[in-house]
């Protein structure tokens, strides 16, 4: 690590720790959803893996607290005791939530209040302040089975008036139908897909940290980043980290577009952990998370051909930012499009279910 250009270390920190307030994008949507939360609704944030759901969820909670003077409790629903993160039972999930609530009550000087292990959020109604609950990685509850997942979701979404829940859910075929009926269509629920970031947000995300090290990405390099990433922040930051890794340690000056174009090489990407992660997430999205109709649409757009695609598949992929209709129906992001084409043509072999 000591041999890396310091800009590479900065982008790697962004990649693994997430952006700080000054670099966080999509603040307009954060504000809109925070207003829903403080206005009495629950909130559901959706998107494919690495879309930025957790970052947005935390931003919504922060803004809701700023608006009201309230407090937030955050829980990642993956089981920290297991490598696969799979929760073992409804009771185990509620026990972790109960522990979080108990710790919160102690922190605010209300340790005399006791959370009910079967409905741990109910006790928070005894407090005067607004309380916002952030639940991350909700899709992992699918491993409990549909009936238990629905029961658990109903438990955590049945709250006192001063308690509202914001959750982040992966867009995944294993849970989409259940989430649609049990969460999105629930009265008092506001939901949104996490979109790609705007071009000006991309410039900020890239050049604000870069310029602190005497480096600027040229306008053409920024355009190349937008083209290959589809303006998805995790991809942007990963490609920036990979580009910075190639800079001489003492480099200052301008990063040219050629430095970005050279990154889109699957063999070279696979040789670096962060590059392999890009490939793995793209494959997981295409092969494991998408519905058959969504995958068929992506493959048709990548290699051409004819086929009838349901409108709901087009709408879902457009909402996630993976396809665009701004100039005809196209895949958004040259890197992802290349992965899709490689799978469709058999260059990358994947297991089929």
Per-residue pLDDT reduced to its tens digit, 299-310: 999 998 778 888
pLDDT at 24 over 90: no
Task: List, for residues 198-226, the tens digit of each pLDDT value.
Answer: 999 999 999 999 999 999 999 999 999 99
User: pTM for this one?
Assistant: 0.94
What pLDDT does residue 352 have? 55
CA angle 226, 283, 303 (to 5 degrees): 70
Identify the CA nearest to 241 among candidates 9, 55, 25, 76. 9
What pLDDT does residue 304 have? 85
pLDDT at 351 over 80: no
pLDDT at 186 over 60: yes
pLDDT at 288 over 60: yes
pLDDT at 353 over 60: no
Partners of 254 in beta bridges:
216
Average pLDDT over residues 76-93: 96
Task: List, for residues 264-277, the tens digit of each pLDDT value.
Answer: 899 999 999 999 99
Tokens of 89: 């039972």
What pLDDT does residue 2 have? 55
pLDDT at 7 over 60: yes
Domains in the chain and their CATH numbers?
A: 6-17+197-263 (1.10.8), 27-193 (3.40.50.300), 289-344 (no CATH)
Task: List, for residues 219-243, the tens digit of each pLDDT value.
Answer: 999 999 999 999 999 999 999 999 9
What pLDDT does residue 29 have? 96
Positive or negative: CA dihedral 15, 201, 48, 282: negative
Q: What is the mean pLDDT of the chain?
A: 95
| Contact status, residue 133 vs residue 98, Cβ threshold 8 Å | no
């Amino acid at each position: 690590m000591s041999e890396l250009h310091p800009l590479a270390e900065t982008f790697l920190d962004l990649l693994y720790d997430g952006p700080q307030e000054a670099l966080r994008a999509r603040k307009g949507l954060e504000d809109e959803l925070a207003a829903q939360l403080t206005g009495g609704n629950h909130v559901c944030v959706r998107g494919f893996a690495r879309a930025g759901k957790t970052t947005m969820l935390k931003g919504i909670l922060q803004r809701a607290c700023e608006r009201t003077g309230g407090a937030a409790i955050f829980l990642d629903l993956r089981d920290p005791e297991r490598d696969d993160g799979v929760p073992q039972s409804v009771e185990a999930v509620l026990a972790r939530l109960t522990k979080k609530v108990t710790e919160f009550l102690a922190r605010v000087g209300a340790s005399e209040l006791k959370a009910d292990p079967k409905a741990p959020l109910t006790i928070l109604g005894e407090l005067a302040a607004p309380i916002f609950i952030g639940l991350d990685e909700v899709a992992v509850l699918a491993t409990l089975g549909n009936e238990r997942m629905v029961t658990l979701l109903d438990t955590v979404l049945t709250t006192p008036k001063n308690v509202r829940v914001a959750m982040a859910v992966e867009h995944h075929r294993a849970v989409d139908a259940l989430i649609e009926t049990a969460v999105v269509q629930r009265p008092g629920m506001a939901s949104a897909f996490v979109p790609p970031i705007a071009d000006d947000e991309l410039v900020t995300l890239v050049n604000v940290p870069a310029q602190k090290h005497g480096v600027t990405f040229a306008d053409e390099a920024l355009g190349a980043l937008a083209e290959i990433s589809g303006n998805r922040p995790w991809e942007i930051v990963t490609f920036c980290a990979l580009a910075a890794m190639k800079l001489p340690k003492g480099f200052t000056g301008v990063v040219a577009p050629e430095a970005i174009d050279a990154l889109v090489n699957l063999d070279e990407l696979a040789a670096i952990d962060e590059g392999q992660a890009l490939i793995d997430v793209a494959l997981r999205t295409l092969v494991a998370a998408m519905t058959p109709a969504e995958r068929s649409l992506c493959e048709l757009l990548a290699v051409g051909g004819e086929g009838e695609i349901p409108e709901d598949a087009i709408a879902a992929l457009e909402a996630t930012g993976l396809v665009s209709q701004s100039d005809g129906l196209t895949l958004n992001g040259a890197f992802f499009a290349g992965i899709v084409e490689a799978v469709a043509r058999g260059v990358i072999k994947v297991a089929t279910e």
